[in-house]
Amino acid sequence: MVERDLAGRDIGDRAVLEAFRHVPRELFAPGAGPEEAYGDHPLPAGFGQTVSQPYIIAFMMQALSLSSGDRVLEIGTGSGYQTILIARVADFVYGVERLAPLARMARERLKNLGVENFRVRVGDGAGGWPENAPYDAVIVSAACPAVPAPLLEQLAPGGRLVAPVGGRWEQELVFYRKTGRRLERKFLVGCRFVPLIGPAGWGEEEKTT
Ligand code: SAH
């Protein structure tokens, strides 16, 4: 998967590629066999959520130019797959996940794999995690109509953010960099994420029966 879907496309960041080589994706997608787990597509994570597509995770990590000293805020931890990849290339990951059972499973998976440089809390990620701010990088893994202001506020000088911004079903990946008091913004690529739920995203989830 790494050679075919990441290096074979435009992922050249060696630390990112190396992280993917070390993380067994099947452990994050309950019920997916090895064939499925290494296809470049999202997988069910349970509770109506998805384990992100490997290429888009790699693309976001590369866009953030993560390095070993970085403290990273992750919104929408989900399965923890992206969390562990970031933990391998950065100094520390602070994850916020709205659904308690997913947060608990993510924590267990990372601990079982011997990863300790992370914390995951349950809550609405639109407020960020102010107690540990500022962050060198912020990665948003759920679609929002606009980047929630607290996330931009919690960026360190020189800090970078990526987020899927747009409609509920289709978005564009937006990149921000904070330089002094200015915010530089650019659009990277079209994408499709599950919605950010809450006042800054979309209202309550529809109940699936
Ligand atoms: N990168 C994750 C993607 C998970 S999907 C992975 O690979 O597993 C997006 C996640 O965002 C879901 O787990 C969903 O529950 C969570 N989410 C949705 N709205 C949220 C909010 N307001 N705050 C925190 N997490 C939220």
Q: From the CA of 61, how far away is ligand 1's center (Å)?
A: 17
Q: From the CA of 177, how far away is ligand 1's center (Å)?
A: 23
Res 30: pLDDT: 85
52 is catalytic: yes
Q: Give average pLDDT by consecutive 10-residue segment, the chain, 209 residues.
A: 96 97 94 90 93 97 98 98 98 98 98 98 98 98 97 97 96 96 95 95 66
Q: Is the distance from the beta carbon of residue 50 to the nearest atom of ligand 1 less than 6 Å?
A: yes
Res 51: pLDDT: 95
Q: Is the distance from the beta carbon of residue 142 to the nearest atom of ligand 1 less than 6 Å?
A: yes
Res 209: pLDDT: 42
Res 34: pLDDT: 84
Q: Is the distance from the beta carbon of residue 29 to the nearest atom of ligand 1 less than 6 Å?
A: no
Q: Is the distance from the beta carbon of residue 73 to the nearest atom of ligand 1 less than 6 Å?
A: no
pTM: 0.96
The tokens describing 209, both together, are 């029966």
Res 123: pLDDT: 97
- Among residues of the chain, what percentage have pLDDT more than 90? 92
